[in-house]
Amino acid sequence: MMRARLPMKAESRRMRILPAIACAIALSSLAIFTGCRVNRPASDHATSQILYTAVASDPRTFNPILITDSTSSTLTSDLFESLIRVNPVTTLPEAGLAEKWEIAPDSKTITFHLRHDVKWFDGQPVNAHDVLFTLDVIYDPKVPNSIRPAITIDHQHIIAEAPDDYTVVMHLPKPFAPLLYSIGIPVMPAHILEPVWKAGNFNHTWGIDTPPDKLVGNGPYHMTHYTQGQLVRYDRNNDYWMKDEHGGQLPRLHGQTVTIVQDKKAAYLRYLSGQIDIYGPRTEEVSPLQDKVKNKELDVTVQQIGIDTGSLFFTFNRNPRHYVKNGVTNPKLDWFTDLKFLQAMAHTIDKKSMIDLVFHGLAVPAVADISPENKIFANPNLKDYDYDPKLAADMLEAAGYHLVKPGVRTDPKGNRLEFDLTTNTGTPERNEMCTIFKQDVESLGIKVNYRPLEFTTLVDKLDSSFDWDCVLIGFTGGIEPNDGANFYRSSGNLHLWNPNQPTPATPWEAEIDTLLDQGASEMDPAKRAPYYWKIQQILHEQLPILETVRQQRYSSWKNSLENYQPKVWGTYKPEWMQFKAD
């Protein structure tokens, strides 16, 4: 589920589309900065307690239920609390809005006991009706969202009731192992949004044009200002329920300012100049940062966090809603559903060059959809597709895709092989990966029209118009594989190659649907793993996605920032972060 690389708090993650940030334009000095610049004294941290960070793009919505992109998720994650959060160190569920819970012996009923001291930003109490309302919205078929597949059990909804204002009882059709991870969804204010939902206007509520003071949440911070393309500001929620071990107020930070910096090089220079407090360096920036620390030029920490928990892959569009018009099928649909064509493309991905040239050696080949950081559920037994352009050419010839003259290959019906390739703009790494892939594919006689798109435009094509051929895209990953049901399930809205299928289009997609149900029904984690290993094997064999590489992730932060503990699955105890006196 899509999340930023350095989330402010750890929580259950839905699969979300992830933008990388960067720009190929070289910036020679800080004087080149344009647009929004945050000016502040370098020594004001201890008194202001304001954390300065950056994101790559503007949000698409402030409505947490409708989010499909990581930036929107990042910018709303501190506004709303969920019943349960996940500890990024132990990877176990722990208390959120629910201070405790009991699971019945048959594992089909779970009772959550809500905290009595949690308020919405407008002073109204958070209660059980808010939880029931949130579930009603998620299950409403007229509300498109990425959460519903993860909490749908054997095609059935969870039945919830509230015996009193602070108790929620959920009844499941059968045991559901992922529940404590999947239920980590933002709880919405029923007293604000239920009338809107009943009027049929929920899908148009809390867009990015909403005044920040109208966003009524219950999290550690409330939004005070948003200027498109520039910044987002937050103030501490002084009524936040969490306290430290001495009963002190949390969060300790008084606020946050998030700047919107699409140019990664500009973001790096802002970090070097002290305008940003936390930064996720690109691989090419890791060694220079380490040298600056060693030479005492910067008072920061640079720390390796681990291998990327997400997935960065090429995928071809298999959606007949795009390729079949007035009874006429575009030949691209035949190519993109031909396993021989896809196998040839998999053998054309030069992962070694991508690792060496793009990521400066700080990456590993990606084979399975689930990251090896997920020690239980990642399938370790898959053999990668070797980079072998000659084999790819031979496979195409054998499948009837003939090289009719130098640089021109046709399909069995004589149509020239040609497709559009895209990724999001402002991402040098992805741009370079696409360039490498384009060159190798064109060496086979296939014409590739490469044009990157602005991120929100790209997402609209992926989840609305479906007007695309091949894309390089990144998804976040989570601890609980069932939280990726919106990607894995044939009916999922992020089942990119052919989303929202009323019934599975292929036998292997039907098998994945069944495996998801079976894996979710097994309560023993060790016995669950084989179901998800099989899902990864099917994806590896059927190639709806073509894996590339996984970057080694680093985090860097100012040493004046105390208690910042980034982990591969999120930030540990972010509410305890604060700046020490200079």
Residue 458 and residue 424 in contact, taking contact as beta carbons nearer than 8 Å: yes
CA distances from 20 to 312, 352, 383, 473 (A): 10, 20, 28, 9
pLDDT value of residue 476: 87
Per-residue model confidence (pLDDT) at position 37: 42
Q: Output the pLDDT for position 33.
A: 29
* 367 contact partners, CB below 8 Å, separation of at least 6: 382, 383, 384, 540, 547
* C-alpha pair distances (Å), 94 with each of 5, 91, 186, 523: 22, 9, 15, 18
Neighbours of 258 (CB within 10 A): 24
* Alpha-helix runs per DSSP H in 24-145: 45-48, 70-76, 128-139
Q: Which of 314, 321, 335 is nearest to 467 (CA)?
A: 321
| Amino acid 35: pLDDT | 37
The tens digit of pLDDT for each residue in 118-168 reads: 999 999 999 999 999 999 999 999 999 989 999 999 889 999 999 999 999
Task: Please give the Cα distance from 436 to 445 (Å, whole number).
Answer: 15
pLDDT at 275: 95
Residues of the chain with pLDDT under 70: 1-43, 582
pTM over 0.85: no
End-to-end CA distance of the chain: 38
Return the pLDDT at 9.
36
**pLDDT score, position 143:** 97
pLDDT digits (tens, 9 = 90+) for 427-482: 889 999 999 999 999 999 999 999 999 988 998 999 889 999 999 999 988 899 99
SS3 annotation, 205-271? CCCCCCCHHHCCCCCCEEEEEEECCCEEEEEECCCCCCECCCCCECCCCCEEEEEECCCHHHHHHHH
Give the position of tokens 């009837």. Answer: 400
pLDDT of residue 378: 96
What domains can be seen in the chain, in order of their start residue?
A: 17-72+209-303+554-579 (3.40.190.10), 84-198 (3.90.76.10), 311-551 (3.10.105.10)
Residue-level pLDDT at 38: 47
Alpha-carbon separation of residue 531 from 482, 493, 518 (angstroms): 11, 22, 7
Contacts of 402 (CB under 8 A, 6+ apart): 396, 409, 410
Residue 197 to residue 135: CA distance in whole angstroms: 12
pLDDT at residue 501, as a whole number? 96
Could you tell me what percent of the chain has a pLDDT over 90? 86
